[in-house]
Structure 1
Amino acid sequence: MWKEDIRDSFILLIGLLVIILVWIVLSERIFEENEETMNTTIGLIGAILGGAISGGLTLFGVRVTIKHQIKKDNLETYPNRIQKLRKLEKIINHLSERMKYTPISMIPDDFLENANESLELAVNIDNSVYNKILQLEIIAERLSKLAPSSMRMGKDYDRTHVFEPTEEYIIEFQKYDIEFEKTKKIIEKRMEFYQEELEYFSDK
């Protein structure tokens, strides 16, 4: 958050310097033959510009203060969100390990068995995490419908019931695999974000 404040302050400062520089250059060009008029005009515009700058800085200060206050008000929810992120991370990592040896036809159902718990955790974290888990559930449900029920009952290794995924199944599974990796990354990023925010405000 402090990085955003520094960035906004820098942008504001550069903007003000550019405005002042442009005005000085234009004033010299327009009123170069009438020094008295130029000085009067510069003084008037300077007063207006000074008021605008003062008001702008005040508004910016209020904005930053409100922003910090909102963050502090939400600070109490961060430990709970971090805890839920850790639980969700364990579920996702466990599923990731199982994918290494679980038959491809059973992977969607494997996720769906944990979908409700994952969604309950995600809904109390934030929208970005919840949307990723929800998207995984939607794809997993499509995959589950594409795989015959007999193939999802652990009979992949039966010589008479070898699962041969269709092209549609393969395409959907690739989507699932991509979304699964994205979900792992977003969980890691949100964990880092909440921990950094918690540390930042704890030092205040």
Structure 2
Amino acid sequence: MKKDDVIAGLIVIVGILTLLLTWILISQHFIKENDTFIAGISLVGAILGGVISGGLTLIGVKMTISENNKYDEIKKIPNRFEDADYLVKCLKSLLVQSLGNQDDQIKSNKTARELQNILDSKNLIVKSINVNYETYLDIRHLREILMFSRLPSQDNVSDEKTYGMIDAQILKCISQIEKEIDKMIEYITESTH
């Protein structure tokens, strides 16, 4: 059960209880006089009218807020889409550089530093926030892997493993972003129909 449904239910219950209490008070104490009885019916009608109009206003406000949120989300999609496309292009470029320079340990450490510099200089982390939070976490994790891969290792096996992690993380980021692009396209398609 949603929180909104519970609140709406409580409002209805309070309204009904108010009407019943008013009706009981009017019928018990003021039934003897005809003018007072008519005034009591008017009071019940006013309360009922207030509850109905308040409920309709609440529904209207909720619908307006929902539509505005949808509109704001649709307005953000072009920027998100542009940033997502930019990230995919940059990550594919990073992947090509990473795959091309894994044979020599010195060259590999230099490449890790270059990849991190590219990641930082192109503001990929900032752009990833605009796409979605999961993409941001993936790009940030890639940056951490690149930072720690520059540390000297004892053997080439760990270098190969590290570059495998770098490549896997780049591919994960690309996959995550492409899924988000598909979600954006689907959302636009559903919203326009």
The TM-score, its normalising length taken from structure 2, stands at 0.55
Q: For residues 19-168 of structure 1, what are the structure 2 equivalents within 5 Å?
A: 19=10, 22-23=13-14, 27=17, 34=24, 43=45, 45-88=47-90, 90-91=92-93, 94=96, 98=99, 102=102, 110-119=111-120, 120=122, 122=124, 123-127=126-130, 128=133, 129-147=135-153, 162-163=155-156, 165=158
Task: Flag the structure with larger Rg.
Answer: 2
Aligned length: 172
Unaligned runs of 5+ in 2: 29-39
Query: 2:26 and 2:109 mapped to 1: Cα distance?
Result: 81
- Alignment check: 8 A CA contact 1:85 1:121 kept: no
What's the offset of the Cα at 1:198? 3.5
Aligned-residue CA RMSD (Å): 4.9
Counterpart of 1:53, as a letter, is G
2:9 aligned residue (18, 31, 42) = 18
Measured at CA, do residues 108 and 68 of structure 1 come closer, stay the same or move farther in structure 2, by a change above 3 Å?
Answer: farther
SS in 1 for 2:156: coil
Preserved CA contact (<8 Å) 1:27 1:42: no
TM-aligned CA distance change 1:83 to 1:43, over 3 Å: same
Name the aligned partner's letter for residue 64 of structure 1: S
CA distance in 1, matches of 2:50, 2:182: 45
For 1:164 and 1:90, locate their aligned partners in 2 and report how far apart those are by CA, in whole Å: 25
Matched residue SS, 1:126: helix
Kindly state the Cα deviation for residue 82 of structure 1 after the two structures are TM-superposed.
Answer: 4.5
Report the Cα distance in structure 1 between the residues aligned to 2:171 and 2:47, rounded to whole angstroms: 57
**Cα distance change on mapping 1:108 and 1:193 into 2, 3 Å:** farther
SS in 1 for 2:150: helix
Higher helix share: 2
Which consecutive unaligned segments of at least 5 residues does structure 1 have?
A: 1-9, 149-161
Q: Percent identity, aligned pairs only?
A: 12
* TM-score of the pair, normalised by structure 1: 0.53
